[in-house]
Amino acid sequence: MDLVPLKLVTIVAESILEKKLVEEIKRLGAKGYTIVPARGEGSRGMRSLDWEGQNIRLETIVPEEVALRILARLQEAYFPHYAVIAYVENVWVVRGEKYI
């Protein structure tokens, strides 16, 4: 079986950002995504515990260059204004062509 190495990008954000984030990641090259409702606490700048409301946990499997584009876009347009966290992991998938 051919396992293809790709990047899993996970974004946790306020639910109100869902539509915008989905549009962003598609525009930047993501072919699909999975969302689960989530809750939690985090810190944003000096304030902490500032997003105990409803959140989403969005994940998307993408090539490395798309992952970097997504993170750069988050850094530019979201991190300064919203309570958003994002992280990248290494994953291996079957049918790697679906994600490119």
Q: Minimum Å distance from CB 47 to its own copies?
A: 11
Given the structure tokens 């969005």, which residue do they identify? 58
Strand pairing category for 4-14 and 47-48: unpaired
Nearest 10 degrees: Cα torsion 60, 20, 67, 39: -60
Please state the closest distance from residue 66 (CB atom) to its own copies, in A: 14
Binding site for its own copies (CB under 8 A): 1, 3, 6, 8, 12, 22, 31-43, 48, 55, 57, 61, 68, 71-72, 74-75, 79, 85-95, 98
Report in angstroms how near the CB of residue 14 gets to its own copies at its nearest: 12
